[in-house]
A and B are shown apart, each in its own frame.
Chain A
Amino acid sequence: MNGQTITRYYRNHRKATVTATSGLLYGGGWSLGYLTSFDAASAAVLVLATVVGGYDIAKTAYHEVTNRTLGIKTLVTLAAVGAVVIGEYWEAAAVVFLFSLGSYLEGRTMRKTRTALQELLEMTPDTATVRRDGELREVPAREVEEGEVVVVKPGGKVPVDGTVVDGESAVNQAPVTGESAPVHKADGDEVYAGTVNQEGALEIRTTGAGSDTTLERIIRRVEEAQEAQSPTESLIDRFAKYYTPAVIVLAIGAYAVTQNAILSLTLLVIGCPGALVIGPPVSIVSAIGNAARSGVLMKGGEHLERAGKIDLVAFDKTGTLTEGETAVADVEGFGVADDEVLALAATAEKKSEHHLADAIVDAARERPTAATDGGATVVQADDTDASLQSIPDPDDFDVVAGKGVIAHTDGHQVVVGNRALLDDRDIDVTSRIADYVREREERGETVVHVVRDGDVVGAIAMRDELRETAPGVVAALRDAGIETVMLTGDNERTAAAVAEEVGIDDYRAELLPEDKQSVIETLQGEGHVVAMVGDGINDAPSLATADVGIAMGAAGTDTAIETADMALMADDLERIPYAVTLSKATRRNVLENVGLAVLTVTVLLAGVLTSYVTLAAGMLVHEASVLLVILNGMRLLRH
Chain B
Amino acid sequence: MSDTTQFRVLDFDCPSCASTVERALSNVDGVEDVEVHYSTGRVEVEYDDGVADPDAFAQTIENQGYTPQPA
Contact = CB atoms under 8 A, between A and B. Distances in A.
B39 A70 contact: no
A110 interface: yes
Interface in B39-55: 39-42
B13 A107 contact: yes
Contacts of B16: 64, 69-73, 272
Interface stretch (A181-189, A276-284, A394-402, A558-566): A276-284
Contacts of A67: 20, 23-24, 27
B64 interface: yes
For B13, B41, B63, B64, the residue with the greatest tally of chain A CB atoms inside 10 Å of its CB is B13
Interface string A562-598: 0000000000000000000000000000000000000
Contacts of A63: 20, 24, 63-65
A282 B39 contact: yes
A107 B11 contact: yes
Contacts of A107: 10-13
A67 B38 CA distance: 17
B41 A114 contact: yes
A274 interface: yes
A417 B39 CA distance: 55
A258 interface: no
Interface in A90-107: 103-104, 106-107
A512 B22 CA distance: 51
A627 to B, nearest CB: 11
B14 to A, nearest CB: 5
A69 B17 CA distance: 9
A521 B20 CA distance: 45
Contact of B12 (A64, A110, A284): A110
B59 interface: no
Nearest to B15: A277
A281 B14 contact: no
B17 A68 contact: no
A60 interface: yes
Nearest to A115: B10
Contacts of A114: 8, 10, 39-41
Nearest to A273: B15
Contact of B13 (A70, A110, A284): A110
Contacts of B11: 15, 107, 111
Contact of B38 (A60, A72, A281): A281
Nearest to B36: A227
Interface of A: 15, 56, 59-60, 63-64, 67-73, 103-104, 106-107, 110-111, 113-115, 117, 223, 226-227, 272, 274, 277-278, 281-282, 284-285
Interface of B: 8, 10-17, 19-20, 23-24, 27, 35, 37-42, 63-65
Given A64-B20, A281-B39, 18 more contacts: A15-B11, A63-B63, A64-B16, A67-B27, A71-B19, A72-B14, A103-B14, A106-B14, A107-B11, A107-B12, A110-B10, A111-B10, A111-B11, A113-B39, A114-B8, A114-B40, A114-B41, A227-B42
Q: Which 9 pairs across A and B sit closest by C-beta, in order of nearness? A: A71-B16, A67-B23, A103-B13, A107-B13, A281-B39, A114-B41, A285-B39, A227-B37, A111-B10
